């Protein structure tokens, strides 16, 4: 306890990976930062980690890309039956991972667990089973922070593990307190699993605006190959079909001016390169100047083997004139909040979570309904070319986000959950 008699917790974050700029890694770091405000110490368990080694336990087998887990996934997704050897290897890996989870808890004296998506999306079925059994055996106070559920992804709809999905994704044990990131997930979880949850949206530190461009990032536009009068339209996402990047290409084509350049920041995901090739061909056919910049973007700044600067995504945002976010589906939409945080105008597609959780807040931005209209294109043009209109929109959006999606929102919610957990013990 601290001097005021408040219980100081040892928080154990568990997932397959805490590294890079994916939503789980970013949001868990924000949670840890807020928890540290209350002097709670965070520790990390995962298969890939970029956290401080003194506070972490890296178990390679816990990574969803570990060869054994890839073998298991090959034999359980897209088919209805599984062989006895698959069940045996799932159980063997689960037993091993459970023993390492006990080691993690004992080594760091963990008092509360936070499971980051490992009981939500079944990228690593043995880990989910291991966590479920651990909770059933220990009844340790636990928060399940669910970013995505398997029923939201068609790739998991045909499977040979319905028993394991029912058991562990998510688990239903009394010590597990569920947190989701949008209203639809809250309702689906209640309907499918019969459990209640708290809806805590993703957040940004809107109380502290981003720093100004420093010397390292001052040459980003030149590195991309842009001229001083070029307009940089940034697509700040991975290249996967659900991001709807073809709409960004169409937007630039309809703007009809060679000064508009489309820049995609990230590489293709784990869904193959076909979509990237299609985008390149489409841009060429439409006469759109498309720049792929993924080789120059990393998790941290550094110099690559060719002696070139590698930037972070946050180095790109200040140089953009417009952000495109025409996603078909998002669990929440971190790139949307990032654009608001950097005070950039945004074109967005009205994906379901935006329409329900974000749009009612009152943001000012052009919104497309699955396709581009002339009005949407002209609204975009006005935001780019009318400085007064742009300034009003981005400042308004910043204030809205500060009210609904700031760290203070997360701080209140986490404090309430911790009080509830300790009150029920």
Work out whether the CA dihedral 315, 318, 322, 323 comes out positive or negative. positive
Instruction: List pLDDT tens digits, range 103-134.
Output: 999 999 999 999 999 999 999 999 999 999 99
Phi-psi region of 192 (alpha: psi -120 to 50; beta: other; left: phi over 0): alpha
Q: What is the pLDDT of residue 420?
A: 86
Q: Would you place residue 6 in the very low, low, confident or very high pLDDT band (cuts 50, 70, 90)?
A: low
Across the range 325-335, mean pLDDT stands at 89
Task: Answer yes or no: is pLDDT of 3 > 70.
Answer: no
Task: Answer yes or no: is pLDDT of 23 > 90.
Answer: no
- Let me know if 205 is exposed, middle or buried by CB neighbors in 10 A (0-12, 13-18, 19+): middle
Instruction: At 232, give phi and psi (nearest 5°).
Output: -95, 115
Task: Answer yes or no: is pLDDT of 324 > 60.
Answer: yes
Task: Answer yes or no: is pLDDT of 2 > 80.
Answer: no
Domain ranges of the chain: 10-203+407-424, 220-404
Task: Label each residue of 39-98 as H, E or C.
Answer: CCEEEEEECEECCCHHHEEECHHHCCCCHHHHHHHHHHECCCCCCHHHHHHHHHHHHHHH
Q: What is the pLDDT of residue 422?
A: 74
Q: What is the pLDDT of residue 425?
A: 45
Instruction: List pLDDT tens digits, range 184-203.
Output: 999 999 999 999 999 999 99
Name which CATH class applies to 10-203+407-424: alpha beta
Across the range 295-311, mean pLDDT stands at 92
Instruction: List pLDDT tens digits, range 42-60.
Output: 999 999 999 999 999 999 9
Name which CATH class applies to 220-404: alpha beta
Q: What is the pLDDT of residue 251?
A: 97
What is the residue-averaged pLDDT of the chain? 93
Angle at 120 between CA 414 and CA 70, to 5 degrees: 135
């Amino acid at each position: 306890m601290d001097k005021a008699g408040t219980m100081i917790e040892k928080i154990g974050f568990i997932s397959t990976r805490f590294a890079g700029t994916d939503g789980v890694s970013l949001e868990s770091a924000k949670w840890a930062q807020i928890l540290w405000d209350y002097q709670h110490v965070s520790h990390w368990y995962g298969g890939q980690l970029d956290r401080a080694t003194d506070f972490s336990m890296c178990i390679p087998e816990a990574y969803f890309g570990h060869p054994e887990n890839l073998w298991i996934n090959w034999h359980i997704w897209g088919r209805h039956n599984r062989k006895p050897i698959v069940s045996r290897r799932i159980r063997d890996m689960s037993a091993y991972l459970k023993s390492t989870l006990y080691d993690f808890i004992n080594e760091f004296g963990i008092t509360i667990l936070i499971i980051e998506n490992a009981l939500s999306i079944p990228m690593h079925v043995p880990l989910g089973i291991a966590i479920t059994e651990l909770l059933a055996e220990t009844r340790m106070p636990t928060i399940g922070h669910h970013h995505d559920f398997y029923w939201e992804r068609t790739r998991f709809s045909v499977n040979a593990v319905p028993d394991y999905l029912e058991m562990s994704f998510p688990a239903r044990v009394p010590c597990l307190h569920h947190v989701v990131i949008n209203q639809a997930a809250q309702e689906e979880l209640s309907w499918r699993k019969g459990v209640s949850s708290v809806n805590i949206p993703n957040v940004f530190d809107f109380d502290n605006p981003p720093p100004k461009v420093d010397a390292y990032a001052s040459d980003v536009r030149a590195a991309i190959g842009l001229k001083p009068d070029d307009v940089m339209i940034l697509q700040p996402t991975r290249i996967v079909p659900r991001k709807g990047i073809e709409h960004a290409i169409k937007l630039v084509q309809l703007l009809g001016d060679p000064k508009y350049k489309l820049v995609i920041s990230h590489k293709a995901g784990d869904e193959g390169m076909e979509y990237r090739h299609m985008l390149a061909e489409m841009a060429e056919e439409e006469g759109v100047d498309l720049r792929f910049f993924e080789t120059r973007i990393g998790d941290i700044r550094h110099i690559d083997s060719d002696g070139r600067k590698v930037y972070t995504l946050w180095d790109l945002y200040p140089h953009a004139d417009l952000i495109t976010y025409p996603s078909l589906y998002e669990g929440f939409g971190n790139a949307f909040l990032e654009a608001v945080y950097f005070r950039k105008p945004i074109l967005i597609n009205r994906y379901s979570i935006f329409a329900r959780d974000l749009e009612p807040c009152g943001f000012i931005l052009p919104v497309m309904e699955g396709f581009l209209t002339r009005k949407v294109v002209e609204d975009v043009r006005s935001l780019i070319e009318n400085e007064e209109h742009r300034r009003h929109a981005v400042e308004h959006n910043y204030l809205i986000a500060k009210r609904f999606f700031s760290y203070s929102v997360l701080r209140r919610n986490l404090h309430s959950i911790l009080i509830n957990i300790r009150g029920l013990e």
